Structure 1
Amino acid sequence: MLIVVMTISESANAAEVRATLGLGEEHREWTEALERTLVGSAGAGIPTGKHLTSLLTQLKVPAEDQAEMAEAAQKVTEPGTPWRWLLERTVATLRATTGLDTPMPSRPALTEHGPTGRWLTLLACLAVVPDVRALHATMKVSDEVSWASLGILGEKVAVRRRTLQGVGAGAVVEPPFPFDDYVLPVFQGRRYRLGGFDCRASNDYIDLRLPYGTEPFGIRADMAWANEIHRFFCRLPRRYANGVRFGYTGIPCYLGSWINDPAVADFFPEDHEIRRFTSAYHYFHDRGPGPADKTGLTPGDRDALEHAFGQSPADRPTALRLTPTTYVQQAVLEHLQAGNHWSLNYNGQAIWDY
């Protein structure tokens, strides 16, 4: 079998990379942002062989995906290729933003390039694990919290796998992978798994999300809860709330979740743990469900489905075919089956003492 290796010159620019890979105009902004990135001497080393398998396992990546990732790792690290060009600059950008709430250049999907395109950003995350672990050590983050936080990556890969299994044989679907707004902050040292929540320190707020498989509703969402999360982020080497005018405005510490939809009261009694949790909020902001996208689902619907079922269905009809096995799953589906949508509201506490 003839194997064609795509190569580029050492002084290649973004245009040459796009042309070699056949990338369209939608990739211009991303690749040109990477072109402006200064690549240091640290390189973009990714473990190989058993060391790679061990790291992927520690990051909770499903075993079924590990062989495909190993194959992609071999391709993206090949010298003189456009993949290596993209990898080195993505790694350099991650390192340059360590400890900061700085958006990464938005990357359009590379699904037409198979596993290599699919896992490129994930492999860049693997390369900076030592950098993130070093930041965690500086912050005196325990190993348990450190690896639980890094394991968010594998959990999202598992959501993708369950989604693929849920669409049935023969279906063509590429589940969206939440790199930009969810996973990459983990590898910038700004998102952590704290008390069962995925917490991200922004420049002007603390954003909490509720991942699949955790229901930490024994905690009260009161000021003590918010201040504990705030004190954790005060360990960051650079002040996290630098977008807030000191002394004038509180820092919102809030949970964005379907459980904040007032419709929850239609399915759970007042003494249910979810209702007890949300009742402790200092403020409540009801945004409403908003418009559904072309798949027939709103962000709130997807949040509810991922939290309850651990997958992000391709569209509303696929979601309605899910089989509930728990009380929470039943509630999520009943609301959708009635023709409604879930809201993704952000509610919690305002921290004033910082």
Structure 2
Amino acid sequence: MMTIKDSANAAEVRAALGLGEEHREWTEALERTPVGAAVAEIPTGQQLASLLTQLKVPAEDQAEVAEAAEKATEPGTPWFWLLERTVAALRAGMGLDTPMPSRPLLTGHGPTGRWLTVLACLAAVPDVRALHATMEVPDEVSWASLGILGEKVAVRRRTLEAEGAEVEPPFPFDDYVLPVFQGRRYRLDGLDCRASNVSIEVRLPYGTEPFAIPADRAWAHEIHYFFCRLPRRYADGVRFGYDAIPCYVGSWVNDPAVADFFPQDHEIRRFTSKYQYINHNGPGPADKTGLTPGDRDALEHAFGQSPADRPTALCLTPTTPVQRAVLEHLQAGNHWSLDYSGQAIWDYSPSPRRTA
């Protein structure tokens, strides 16, 4: 492994790893990230295996993650330079709703490049757990939320296995996993709930069946009161009696086309019928892969995969009614919409259950 000086800059790191111009903005942003006294540490051996299992990382990936961790934590290497600063950026955003420098894929740089973002999350687990402790988040909610990381790794693995390809699909770090490691997204009653500074967004993870929790106002208030624990108010500027905090579900299940496949008493339609408002924007244009965001949401929720493109998606084999509905709609030449529906929370006063 090539070594670099402790004072190395972003250009030297790129040169050492053979990174191109597409990595300039990312590495220069990391160069500007202050690195504190706390080092980026990842457990080893059985402790690492136990942590990966607790985070739901597939067993098939754990050996490669351990190999990548060994290389990335070696001081004086360009990988450690990247890891240390990525962890520092995660720690700086703890409890906040702020973006991080976007990371281009490092698929051509072996296991260490493939798993770098996941390694940074592993190093930040103690920091997230400490944040959860200050908010008295129950242990089962804390670990279930952190397990979203492994679930997204599993989506990537299923996608690769189904396609039989080595082209790595994008890892949804910025829009899905990052809020988990900022203490902003939580697995609550089987649903993934994220607090931004002005709203609560709810998403349906893979395999959310049946929908045990109705999307009614009481449920929305329970989620809201949970997020009142945040150290930084997520609803700054909301004026009681004038504005409302939206608690909304963004999902393909809000598409009116769902009614073409399921009867009115089906659990999905019962779930969506409880909304106070619904916003149908239509599917919008597909990207260069031939899929819309709604298509991808439906495919990941139903199949646990993120196919490379529309032709690959159409080759999937459905085995459940939900999978058949998702695929039949696409096979008919249609797209799924990613519509938003939910509840307006007018009363944002603290709940008696509030603990922080």
Same fold (TM > 0.5): yes
TM-score bracket, normalised by the shorter chain, equals over 0.9
2:223 equivalent in structure 1: 229
Of residues 139, 143, 159, the one that matches 1:143 is 139
Tell whether the 8 Å contact from 1:196 to 1:215 is kept in structure 2 after alignment: no
1:304 equivalent in structure 2: 298
**Distance between the aligned counterparts of 2:118 and 2:234, measured in 1?**
25
Of residues 321, 334, 339, the one that matches 2:333 is 339
**Distance between the aligned counterparts of 1:208 and 1:216, measured in 2?**
16
Of residues 22, 33, 37, the one that matches 1:37 is 33
2:208 equivalent in structure 1: 214
**Distance between the aligned counterparts of 2:9 and 2:313, measured in 1?**
43
2:308 equivalent in structure 1: 314
TM-score (normalizing by structure 1): 0.96
Gaps of 5+ in 2: 349-356
**Distance between the aligned counterparts of 2:179 and 2:210, measured in 1?**
22
2:281 equivalent in structure 1: 287
**Distance between the aligned counterparts of 2:249 and 2:110, measured in 1?**
35
- Offset at residue 218 of structure 1 (A): 2.8
Gaps of 5+ in 1: none
CA deviation vs aligned residue, 1:55-87 (integer Å, no higher than 9, x gap): 000101001000110110011111111110111
Of residues 97, 100, 104, the one that matches 2:100 is 104
Pair 1:118-2:148 in alignment: no
Q: Which runs of 4+ in 1 moved over 4 A?
A: none
**Distance between the aligned counterparts of 1:344 and 1:6, measured in 2?**
46
- Offset at residue 216 of structure 1 (A): 4.9
Q: Could you say what secondary structure the match of 2:247 adopts?
A: strand
**Distance between the aligned counterparts of 2:347 and 2:280, measured in 1?**
25
CA deviation vs aligned residue, 1:33-60 (integer Å, no higher than 9, x gap): 1111111111100001111101000101
Of residues 84, 89, 94, the one that matches 2:90 is 94
CA deviation vs aligned residue, 1:159-210 (integer Å, no higher than 9, x gap): 1111111113xx3321111011101111111110001111111011111110
2:353 equivalent in structure 1: none
1:246 equivalent in structure 2: 239
Tell whether the 8 Å contact from 1:195 to 1:216 is kept in structure 2 after alignment: no
CA deviation vs aligned residue, 1:99-144 (integer Å, no higher than 9, x gap): 1111111111111112111110110111111111111111111111
Aligned length: 347
TM-score (normalizing by structure 2): 0.95
Pair 1:258-2:252 in alignment: yes
Q: Could you say what secondary structure the match of 2:117 adopts?
A: helix
CA RMSD of aligned residues (A): 1.1
User: What percent identity do the matched residue pairs reach?
Assistant: 83
Pair 1:84-2:83 in alignment: no
